[in-house]
Structure 1
Amino acid sequence: MKQGQGMLLLYSLKNPCFPEYVFSSESGIMCLDFHNDYPYLMAVGFYDGSVAIYNLKKATSQPTYNSSTSSGKHMEPVWQVKWQSNDLCNNLNFFSVSSDGRIVSWTLIKNKLVHTDIIKLSVEGTAVQWPERLQLQMFGCGTSFDFHKKIDYLFLVGTEEGKIYKCSKYYSRQFLDVFEAHHMAVDSVRWNPYHLKVFISCSSDWTVKIWDHTIKTPMFVYDLSCAVGDVAWSPYSSTVFAAVTADGKAHVFDLSINKYEALCTQQVVTKKKNKLTHIQFNPVYPVIIVGDEQGHVISLKLSPNLRKMPKEKKGQKVKKGPEVEIAKLEKLLNLVREPEGKAEE
């Protein structure tokens, strides 16, 4: 509760000087997500552990729906919220992840948010023995999550302990898999928008790692020499991703051009007083936005050499589309995957 008041601002790139919408809140805002089908609806997570839905169509500065202690709000800050497809009764719902170790589903029924605990992150082997034979189970701290683009029940959860859990919406008692991913907190985890097996993670341990979710060791590891606050896949290429680090730099990689280092590393803010915390690609235009610790949002345009497309040869049409993007990344993964015979040995 020390963080005090929060603010939710919505900007247009046409007018960066003044926001289109302004909402103030009693607690700091940690995360938000627009609904795909109803973009005027926003799910928001707060520092005090509560979640809310704002409706931009309504002329009010207060959220339309809000969670409370009695309705199952989190006990720690909410780090991420994500809208899901409607449930069987066609009710709107979204998920939230928090430091209290709970992954919660929030369903909008009539005029209230109804919560369901999907999973609790337990830290293996950390049941503390107390006098009188009491055991206290320690819970893991969730920091980020992402849902699979095609397999509706499958999602990943990153934790403060450095583990990544592969979970199912249908199993609340057990994980599908656990990746010993990082030595420090997992700051972000993201499925690739094209390849159904691939995800990326970044951590305060300075690394970005690319994984095949069927293999327990990473395919690619990048050391960025500083804590990595966020990572994002590009929407236009399966092999392009960007990351931001605590020294104020933004890094853009394209694995199909260079598998070993970034195509571009740019100083965005001065590192002595500030650090970058978030990065996101625009889904249509070659623009990325970066957030920093001082409350600034910086928009950057990707230069043409950072978004190179295959050149058309005379008389030949360059193939485009999801299949081409999947094949491009699969070709790179095959270079680093162990042959089946060796893996069995």
Structure 2
Amino acid sequence: LCFDFHPSDSSVYLIGTGEGHIHKCSITNRNHYLETYQKHFGAVNHIDRSPFYPDVFLSCSYDWTIQLWKEKTLTPILGFSSSQRSVVTVRWSPHQPDVFAAINGQQMEIWDLNTNILNPIIVHRAAPGVEFTSLLFARATDYVLVGDSDGEVTVYQLRNLRVDSYSNLTNHT
């Protein structure tokens, strides 16, 4: 269902499956998986490697969870869940090594692992009848772009993430 290449070794990649597994693969060894990571109980929807630590990655699933992995450990380091909905996309911030965002259709979440590992620090709900479908951090700015089922893209600015995080989301529609 999804894949992500290693940032410094383009022959190595991760594949998320419909069975909830993540396989580490190599284009030089097509007959065998290098590793298999198992925790999800539903299809893996997205995998994203940390831009700061290439051996660390996030995965999200139909099982309502986000998992934080270290490549040499076959079980997750941490698991996150804030709602009873499938998590569609998860992405690391390109600016802060402990911040990531996720969408689950009805809401966008910003997580800061230095602030709270149990709950997202920002939750923004979709308008009634609208589903969030895609998510991307802008590389050179503090903006998050979110696409929705109406075909619109909304740009949010993250401000002062470490101070009073719950009020630090500005909508730039």
TM-score (norm 2): 0.88
Please point out which of 115, 132, 136 is paired with 1:257.
115
Do the aligned partners of 1:224 and 1:245 also contact (CA within 8 Å) in 2? no
Identity, % of aligned pairs? 32
Q: Residue deviations 1:168-201, cap 9 Å, x none?
A: 1111111101112311111100111111221000
Instruction: Indicate whether 1:202 and 2:60 are aligned.
Output: yes
Aligned-partner Cα distance in 1 for 2:9–2:2: 19
Please point out which of 75, 78, 97 is paired with 1:238.
97
In structure 1, the residue matched to 2:26 is: 168
In structure 1, the residue matched to 2:167 is: none
Please point out which of 153, 157, 161 is paired with 1:297.
153
Aligned-partner Cα distance in 1 for 2:58–2:81: 14
Gaps of 5+ in 2: 164-173
Shift of the 204–276 alpha-carbon distance from structure 1 to 2, 3 Å rule, reads: same
Q: Residue deviations 1:114-157, cap 9 Å, x none?
A: xxxxxxxxxxxxxxxxxxxxxxxxxxxxx111111122321101
Aligned-partner Cα distance in 2 for 1:229–1:250: 10
Deviation at 1:218, TM superposition (A): 0.6
Please point out which of 126, 137, 142 is paired with 1:286.
142
Deviation at 1:307, TM superposition (A): 5.5
In structure 1, the residue matched to 2:166 is: none
Do the aligned partners of 1:249 and 1:269 also contact (CA within 8 Å) in 2? no
Aligned-partner Cα distance in 2 for 1:245–1:174: 32
Q: Residue deviations 1:252-280, cap 9 Å, x none?
A: 0111122222111111332xx22212110
Kindly report which structure 2 residues correspond to 1:84-103, keeping only aligned pairs within 5 A, or say none. none
More helix by share: 1
Q: Residue deviations 1:79-124, cap 9 Å, x none?
A: xxxxxxxxxxxxxxxxxxxxxxxxxxxxxxxxxxxxxxxxxxxxxx
TM-score (norm 1): 0.45
AA of the residue aligned to 1:200: L
Aligned-partner Cα distance in 2 for 1:188–1:307: 26
Deviation at 1:291, TM superposition (A): 1.2
CA RMSD in angstroms comes to 1.4
Instruction: Indicate whether 1:154 and 2:16 are aligned.
Output: no
In structure 1, the residue matched to 2:48 is: 190
Shift of the 144–307 alpha-carbon distance from structure 1 to 2, 3 Å rule, reads: farther
Aligned-partner Cα distance in 1 for 2:127–2:15: 29
Aligned-partner Cα distance in 2 for 1:302–1:213: 29
Gaps of 5+ in 1: 1-142, 309-345
Aligned-partner Cα distance in 1 for 2:44–2:115: 27
Kindly report which structure 2 residues correspond to 1:298-337, keeping only aligned pairs within 5 A, or say none. 298-304=154-160, 306=161
Do the aligned partners of 1:269 and 1:276 also contact (CA within 8 Å) in 2? no
Other structure's SS at 2:101 match: strand
Aligned-partner Cα distance in 2 for 1:260–1:227: 18
Do the aligned partners of 1:208 and 1:224 also contact (CA within 8 Å) in 2? no
Please point out which of 71, 76, 83 is paired with 1:213.
71
AA of the residue aligned to 1:291: G
Aligned-partner Cα distance in 2 for 1:220–1:292: 28
